[in-house]
Structure 1
Amino acid sequence: MRLFLLTGALLLSLSLNAQLGLYGGYRFNDAPNWAPPSANLTDAASPLGNSWAVGADYWIPLGQTRIDLLPQLSFGQATQRLTVGSTPFEFTQNAFSLFLNTHFYLLDLEGDCDCPTFSKSGDFFQKGFFVQLSPGVSYFQNTIERQNPDAAGLEDNTLAYSLSAAVGLDIGLSDILTLTPMAGFRYYFPSEWASLSEVFPTIETEPFETESEIRQFWVGLRLGIRFDQR
């Protein structure tokens, strides 16, 4: 958490001289090992629901080729309500993440690495299309609340490492603003949600696992602001 706050302060201070990106997106999550035993569950769903996410990044062009580094801090939340037996539960996962997004403009690697902005010449798709690769680390806050005001909640925290691949297109709105739609897939290496075992006990024919990978399809929209173009 301290690393998350320190990196955020650094991004804000650097943004006064270059490009700050603001991000919003939606994530479709699948954690196969957390699918609960059917005998325990009234609703046919996983305790890990889909999630929304917001974030901020800082643009760092790398040399004279169009390969850009955009370290991003993000926060996402997934909430799922399920009834286990006769007891209603709410499952929440808060994700504080640092992603080292790297954009490869494969159709314009030798082009003007100061673009895209509205005034740049050249083919729109050629200059704006990129492939993104992104390793990351996330701090998961996992909570389980019984829908009963007298019942104590369950909470545990863990770190998860991930890799993502995506495609996007920079759309220059002006010399100052760039809009970028993106879509991709992120793979989280197996991480633990230990308190799930207290809600979904192991049964002989369907053993429950508290450790799972997460497969995540995501879509997002980034707004880039060029403070150095004022």
Structure 2
Amino acid sequence: MRNLLTLCLACLLSSALPAQFGLMPALNWHETSQDLSTEFEPGIFELQPGYEIAAHYWFRLPEKRVEFQPSLYYAQANTVRTGGNYREFGLQYKVNIYPFDFGTDCNCPTFGKQGPQLQKGFFVQVAPGYSYHRLNLSESINTTAHGFTLGGGMGMDIGLSNLLTLTPIAGLRYHFSDFLGDFVQTDGTGMESTIDARLLTFQLGLQLTFRLDERRY
């Protein structure tokens, strides 16, 4: 992963290719796994479906269909049982690989590429990242955490014009850090202990990407 990030950073700094930008609203479904003691009801940390909004910048390799999208996102959801809320801010370095159009050297928008829609538009995605989140269960119970994430998914570019590309995306994001962060529980004897928990997010999004470099149309 370190080599991949180094390659992506080098491409970003050295590339003279024109770039595009975009936004993606998404719906999130969260799965939490935790080792709870009997002091808490099962499922007390579960999250309702929520939403996310992301903004990205785009560039690609010169002669291969590998595209990069450094992205910033904000997500939120409510807890299922306590009436609390969850807020997350993060950075993802998304890498899109087009297996059916990998060797193309056309640096034009999806709308201008040759071939069937599936061939020129389908991609798989890998997305390492880093996030910070805050979980508020009640006025007296809240916690924060931050750490690395790893996402993956697949999508389909649909070129509506040379200016605008619409991309449905299905993916997931796994948080390597403890979901409950610095939360500490106290049992009936006064002993303190932490709860080991992880968060997995499933996502359906619709990305809008704009390309303004008309000389490449």
TM-score tier, shorter chain, comes to: 0.7 to 0.9
**Structure 2 portions without partners, runs of 5+:** 1-17
Amino acid at match of 1:100: Y
* Alignment partner of 1:130 out of 101, 123, 131: 123
Whole-angstrom CA distance in 1 between matches of 2:112 and 2:95: 24
Change (3 A) 1:202 1:112: farther
How many Å apart are 1:214 and its aligned residue? 1.3
After TM superposition, list the pairs within 5 Å mapping 1:1-230 onto structure 2: 18-33=19-34, 40-41=40-41, 46-82=45-81, 89-145=82-138, 152-194=139-181, 197=184, 202=187, 210-229=195-214
Bigger Cα displacement from structure 2, 155-164 vs 165-174: 155-164
- Is the CA contact 2:150–2:173 (under 8 Å) kept in the aligned structure 1? yes
What TM-score, normalized to structure 2?
A: 0.78
**Structure 1 portions without partners, runs of 5+:** 1-16, 83-88, 146-151
Whole-angstrom CA distance in 2 between matches of 1:60 and 1:98: 17
Change (3 A) 1:111 1:215: same
Q: Deviations over 1:127-183 (max 9, x none)?
A: 0000100001001122232xxxxxx44433221211111110000000100000011
Q: Tell me the secondary structure at the aligned position of residue 118 of structure 1.
A: helix
What TM-score, normalized to structure 1?
A: 0.74
Amino acid at match of 2:151: S
Whole-angstrom CA distance in 1 between matches of 2:97 and 2:76: 29
How many Å apart are 1:197 and its aligned residue? 4.4
- What percent identity do the matched residue pairs reach? 31
Amino acid at match of 1:121: Q
